[in-house]
């Protein structure tokens, strides 16, 4: 046990650097997926047939492509078309685009849970569709989508480890490199698992709080 703590003290600063990249990738991709997901969702509920079909097509395609393949395409294939991105940029875009499909379905469910009568009443008062969404629908939908949104945050934080496949030196890759050089697999990956747990537990508690609050209403 004493040796474990000595090794932990040696490896922790390196793993912490990886954890910082993990957080950067997770936050960046979360913001991108939120914006894109909201766009796809609004297109799905717009009532305009062409927009609904385009959005449904995009969502189905993104849900059907593995995240790792999307990351490879953005990082390795896009330079052939003159678009070169850093590994971190590619990871943020890849994860953000992939998760936008799940965000879209979450947002769409929240929007469609709002009583249709409220939308009709708002529009009968002279509000445009966009104003109705901003002032009537979305403020209420936010309360509905928050718990599943929190779950997506947790999954995205864990899936940020896939960025290691395109050379992003995040937590998982740093752990792998240390383990390969030190041969102390148990110590290294125990630390990696513990650091992921430390990052995820606050989110898990936050999601549980939201679920309880919504259940009590």
Question: pTM to 2 decimals?
Answer: 0.88
Q: What is the 3-state secondary structure (H, E, C) of 31-48?
A: HHHHHHHHHHHHHHCCCC
Alpha helix (H) residue ranges in 160-184: 171-182
Positions in the chain whose pLDDT score sits under 50: none
Domain spanning 2-215: CATH superfamily: MetI-like (1.10.3720.10)
Segments making up each domain of the chain, as ranges: 2-215
**What's the pLDDT score for residue 22?**
94
Q: Which long-range contacts (CB under 8 A, 24 or more apart) does 9-15 make?
A: 11/178, 11/182, 11/187, 11/188, 11/191, 12/191, 14/174, 14/178, 15/171, 15/174, 15/175, 15/178, 15/188, 15/191, 15/192, 15/195
pLDDT by residue (tens digit) across 13-70? 999 999 999 999 999 999 999 999 999 999 999 889 999 999 999 999 999 999 999 9
């Amino acid at each position: 046990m004493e040796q474990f703590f000595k090794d932990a003290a040696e490896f922790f600063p390196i793993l912490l650097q990886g954890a910082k990249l993990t957080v950067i990738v997770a936050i960046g991709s979360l913001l991108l997926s939120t914006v894109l997901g909201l766009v796809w969702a609004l297109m799905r509920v717009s009532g305009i047939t062409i927009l609904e079909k385009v959005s449904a097509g995009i969502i189905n395609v993104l849900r059907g492509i593995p995240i790792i393949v999307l990351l490879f395409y953005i990082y390795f294939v896009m330079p052939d078309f003159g678009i070169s991105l850093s590994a971190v940029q590619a990871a943020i875009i890849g994860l953000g685009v992939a998760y936008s499909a799940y965000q879209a379905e979450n947002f769409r469910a929240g929007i469609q849970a709002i009583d249709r009568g409220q939308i009709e009443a708002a529009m009968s008062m002279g509000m445009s569709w966009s104003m109705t969404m901003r002032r009537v629908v979305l403020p209420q939908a936010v309360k509905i989508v928050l718990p599943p949104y929190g779950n997506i945050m947790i999954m995205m934080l864990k899936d940020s480890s896939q960025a290691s496949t395109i050379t992003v030196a995040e937590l998982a890759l740093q752990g792998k490199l240390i383990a390969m050089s030190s041969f102390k697999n148990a110590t290294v990956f125990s630390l990696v698992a513990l650091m992921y747990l430390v990052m995820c537990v606050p989110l898990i508690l936050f999601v549980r709080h939201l679920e309880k609050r919504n259940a009590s209403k």
